[in-house]
Amino acid sequence: MEEKKGHIKEVDDFISSLRLGEPARFGNLTVFPLYSDYSKVDGYTLLEEAINTKKFIVTEINEAGRVPELKVLNELDTDVLILDGEELVGAKQNRIVNTTIIIGRGKEVVIPVSCVEQGRWSYKSKNFKPSKSYLYAGLRSKKSKSVHESLMACCSYHSDQNEIWNDIREKSMRFSVSSETKSMNDIYKSYDKKIEEYEKTLQLHPEQVGFIALIDRKVVGSDIFGMRSVLPKVYNKILRGYILDALDRDKTDKHSVQPDKYVLAGVVKKFLERVKATKKNSFKSVGEGDDIRLESEHVNGFALVNKDEIVHLAAFAE
């Protein structure tokens, strides 16, 4: 493993640049918008935009397929940004992406993924398409830890697949959702209306680059981008993952006193301090740039750095 001190310093500097906005709350979920003067000019096409051009193709690695890997061909003249936790549906089974990856223009790359549809291994289509579902935050945190462990052990971005299947099965049971193929997507479909209620209140703000989400007054996680143009395109999709976890844990008294926003702001600032203080290990990304892994008693996550610029920082509270 090679540590790149400059990239780690850039991550710390980016965290220091973040400013909190006015929080929004619905039910037991509170979202603090984040702002930064660091924000750079966007130079990436996002996954859904890329697939819609028909020049960015995601398929099984070969005709037989392999659960933890997919093949991506970028025939566009721009780099394509694929985000950690994005779901790809179709082919032999639905998958989610194990970490944020930049696919360079004109390149073919094998990307690490995890299955989120245990009960199907047969073709629905040749190619994958994007989904509006996203791996929910609690499982993203577990996946992030297992990927880090895999990187430390054998420089691989593989996850603990059994842990993911078990977590989705348990969540389906808690939500009383029956799925023929044990699909994560079926949980989201069953709760679309309730998720939309949260989305109407938890709106994106102009110039926002990221957010920190709290459930029952405790930080769950954060997603932050180095370019202002990215979050507006993916905000609702990522937020759905936090909303699903909030619904799962919604045991609060509907008439309870709302938490003081200044108290919550202190909790959020403490979380950011912990993210900055955490140990950071640098690995070569699957695509372009470097993947900085975060590890401490209180925090786990990652940051993707490309061309000395922060692309995506995701951190989760333990």
Q: Dump the DSSP string for 161-222.
A: HHHHHHHHHHHHHHTT---TT-BHHHHHHHTHHHHHHHHHHS---TT--EEEEEETTEEEEE
Q: What's the chain's average pLDDT?
A: 93
pLDDT digits (tens, 9 = 90+) for 260-310: 888 999 999 999 999 999 999 999 999 999 999 999 999 999 999 999 899
Distances (CA, A) of 82 to 6, 50, 99, 205, 255: 24, 10, 8, 23, 41
> How does residue 43 score in pLDDT terms, banded at 50, 70 and 90?
confident
> How does residue 257 score in pLDDT terms, banded at 50, 70 and 90?
low
Residue 71's H or E segment, with its range, is strand 69-74
Contact in structure between 242 and 198 (CB atoms under 8 Å): no
- The stretch 183-192 carries a mean pLDDT of 96
User: Does the pLDDT of residue 132 top 50, yes or no?
Assistant: yes
Q: Which two tokens stand for residue 304?
A: 């993707």
> How does residue 258 score in pLDDT terms, banded at 50, 70 and 90?
low
The per-residue pLDDT for 86 is 97
Number of residues in the chain: 318
Please report, for the chain, how many H helices and E strands are present, in that order.
Answer: 8, 18
The per-residue pLDDT for 296 is 94
Residue 294's H or E segment, with its range, is strand 290-295
Residue 274's H or E segment, with its range, is helix 261-277
Q: Which two tokens stand for residue 213?
A: 């989400």
Distances (CA, A) of 52 to 45, 55, 274: 11, 8, 39
User: Residue 176, Cα to own-chain centre: how many angstroms?
Assistant: 25
Range of the domain at 213: 5-249+258-317
152 C-beta neighbours (distance < 10 Å), count:
14
- Counting the structural domains of the chain, the total is 1
Q: Please list the residues that pair with 301 across neighbouring strands.
A: 294, 315
pTM of the model: 0.94
Q: Which two tokens stand for residue 83?
A: 């985000």
User: Does the pLDDT of residue 236 top 50, yes or no?
Assistant: yes
d(C-alpha 17, C-alpha 239), whole Å: 22
Q: Which two tokens stand for residue 20?
A: 């909190």
User: Does the pLDDT of residue 255 top 90, yes or no?
Assistant: no
The per-residue pLDDT for 2 is 43
